[in-house]
Amino acid sequence: MKHLGKALAIGMFVMAANAHADIRFGIVNEAYPPYTTKDASGKAIGWEIDLMDAVCEELKEKCTIVDVAWDGLIPALESKKIDVIWSSMSITDERKKRIDFTEKYYSALAGMIGPKDGAMGVTAKELKDKTVGIAVSTTQSAYFKKHFADVASEKSYATVDESFQDLASGRIDYVFADTGPLKEFLKTDLGEECCEYKGNVEPDDAILGAGVGGGVRKGDDALREKLNAAIKAVRASGKYAEFSKKYFDYDPY
Amino acid sequence: MDFSWIFPYRDLILQGAFLTCLLLVISVTCGFGLAIFLAIAQVGKNPVARWLAKGYCTFFRGTPLLIQLWLIYYGLGTYLPYIPGLRTSFLWPILREGLFFAALALTLNFAAYQGEILRGAMLAVPKGELEAARAVGMSPAMILRRIWLPRAIRIGLPTFAGEVVLQLKATPIVFSVTVMDLYGAAYKIRQDTLLVYEPLLLVTLFYVGLTFLITQAFQKLENAVPTRR
C-alpha cells in the first residue's frame, strides 16, 4: 500500500511535469541587433537569444521562441500567447502598471549618433533646432519629450533601423536610441562612413528605466522568481561574460 | 474601453487628421491633372506619347504602392543629398521631409489609375457628339476642351468617387516614411498608452466619416451635372 502511494505520487509528479508546457519567449520580429536579429535562414540569433538559451539550460526547461511585433508584445503576454517578454524591454514605471518584470539582465544606456561634421556632445545646446530620429514609443521618445522637446524636433520611426538610413542621407541630424544598436550600426560600412557616436545623454532613471528585464504577466511570481534565479546563476557562472564577449567590448550588465 | 487619452493627445490627432486630408487633396488634385494628360496621350495619335503613357500606367498600376513609396523615399531621396548645393539650398527643408515624397508617390500612383479610367471614359463618349462638334467647325483643341473632356469626366465621375475613397484608404502607408498622419498618430498613441483597440477605433470612425463625406460630395456633383440617358 505504501509503495502504491509512492508510485502514485511519482506518477502524478511526472504527469505534472509533463503537463508543464514549454516556456514561450516573446521576441520582437523586427531586427534589433546585436540583441535579437535573424540569420539568413530565419533563425533568431543575437545576444538576447544566447542569454535565453543559457537561462533555459539553467532552468532545465524547454523554451520556444514566438515572434511578436514590438507593439504587440504586452498584449500577447496578457492574452497568454507568450509567457515572457524577452526583447530589450526597459523596466519603466509606465510598463510596470501592466506587467511585472524580472531583475534587469542588461543595462541600456541611451545615446546619440550624428554626422561626422557636427559638434560632439548631446545637450540642449548642440541639439538646438536639430531633428532627432527616434523609434516610436521607446524610452528615448519619452526622454526627448521631457528634456529636448522645446529646443529640437522629433521624427518618429517604426523601427530604429529605418532611422539609420535617413541619418546617412542627411534627413535627420541625430538618431537617439540605446547604445547597443547604435554602436552596431557604426560598425557597418554606411555607419562608418557617415556618422560617429556623439555621447550618452544625462541619466534619468524615472524615464529611461532601471535596465532591461524580462516581462511576465502580473502575478506570475513563480515564473518571475525562477527566471530571476536563473539569470543570477548565469551571471555567477561566468557564462554571461563568455557570450557577451562575442558582441560587446564592455560588460552589458 | 478607455478614452481618457484623447484629450492629452488631441494636438497629435488633429495634426494627423490634417495631414491625412492634405495628402488626399494634394494627390487627388495633382493626380487628376496629370491623369488628363495621360488619358489624352493614350487616345491620341502620337505613338511615342501613347506608349510612354501606357508604360507609365502599367508600371504604376502594376507595382504595390508601398514599394513605389519606398523606392521614391529611400531610393530617390537617398541620392538627392549628393547633388551639390542641394543640401544648403532653400529646397532642402522640403526635400528632407517625408511629406514631400509621400505626396509625390500618392500623386503618381493616383494619376496612373485615373489616367486609365479617363482613357476609357474618353472612348465611351458617343462618336456622334464628336462628329457634330467637328461639323459645326470646332478645332480639335476646342472639341477636346468643350466636348470630349467634359463628357468623359461626367461619364467617369462615379468611378472617380470610388477611386478617391480608395486613395483615402491608401494614405496610412505614409507613416512608414515618417509622416505622422492620422494612422501614425494612432500608432504612437497605441505604443505610448499600451491600449490596443481604442486608438484604432477612433481612426476607424474618422475614415468612415470622411468616406461618407466624399461619397456625399460626389453624389451632389453628379446630380448637379445634367445628363440625358
CATH number, position B124: 1.10.3720.10
Cβ–Cβ below 8 Å for B194 and A171: no
Q: For residue B78, what pLDDT is reported?
A: 76
Closest among B92, B68, B70 to B82, alpha carbons compared: B92
Rg, chain B, Cα only: 21
Report DSSP letters for B117-158, one per residue.
Answer: HHHHHHHHS-HHHHHHHHHTT--HHHHIIIIIHHHHHHHHHH
Cβ–Cβ below 8 Å for B188 and A156: yes
Query: What is the pLDDT confidence band of residue A7, given thresholds at 50, 70 and 90?
Result: low
Name the DSSP class of B44. Answer: S
Q: Is the pLDDT of residue A13 over 90?
A: no
- Arithmetic mean of pLDDT, A5-32: 66
Residue A126: all three cell numbers together: 548642440
ipTM for the predicted complex comes to 0.73
Closest among A27, A68, A67 to A51, alpha carbons compared: A27
Q: For residue A186, what pLDDT is reported?
A: 93
- Arithmetic mean of pLDDT, B157-170: 94
Alpha-carbon separation of residue B142 from A55, A197, A251, B155 (angstroms): 80, 64, 78, 19
Q: Three-state SS string across A46-107, please? A: CHHHHHHHHHHHHHCCCEEEEEECHHHHHHHHHCCCCCEECCCCECCHHHHCCCEEEEEEEC
Of A98, A137, A169, the CB nearest to B191: A137
Query: What is the pLDDT confidence band of residue A71, given thresholds at 50, 70 and 90?
Result: confident
- Per residue in A136-188, pLDDT (tens digit) is 878 898 899 889 999 999 998 888 888 998 898 888 999 999 888 899 899 99
Residue range(s) of every CATH 3.40.190.10 domain in chain A: 2-107+211-244, 110-208
- Per residue in B50-92, pLDDT (tens digit) is 999 999 999 999 999 999 999 999 888 777 777 877 777 888 8
The CATH T-level fold of domain A110-208 is D-Maltodextrin-Binding Protein; domain 2 (3.40.190)
A64 CB-side CA count, 13 A: 10
Min Cα–Cα distance to chain A from B66, Å: 15
Q: Is the pLDDT of residue A216 over 90?
A: yes
Residues of chain A contacting residue B190, judged by C-beta atoms under 8 Å apart: 71
Q: Is A8 on the interface with B (CB under 8 A)?
A: no
Q: Is the pLDDT of residue A215 over 90?
A: yes
Give how many domains chain B has, as a whole number.
Answer: 1
Is residue B125 in some structural domain?
Answer: yes
Query: What is the CATH number assigned to the segment(s) A2-107+211-244?
Result: 3.40.190.10
Task: Name the residue type at position B106.
Answer: L
**Mutation choice for B interface testing from A131, A156, A157 by most B CBs within 10 A:** A156
- Per residue in B186-201, pLDDT (tens digit) is 988 887 887 878 999 9
Is residue B107 in some structural domain?
Answer: yes
Rg, chain A, Cα only: 21
- Arithmetic mean of pLDDT, A203-225: 89
Q: For residue B1, what pLDDT is reported?
A: 81
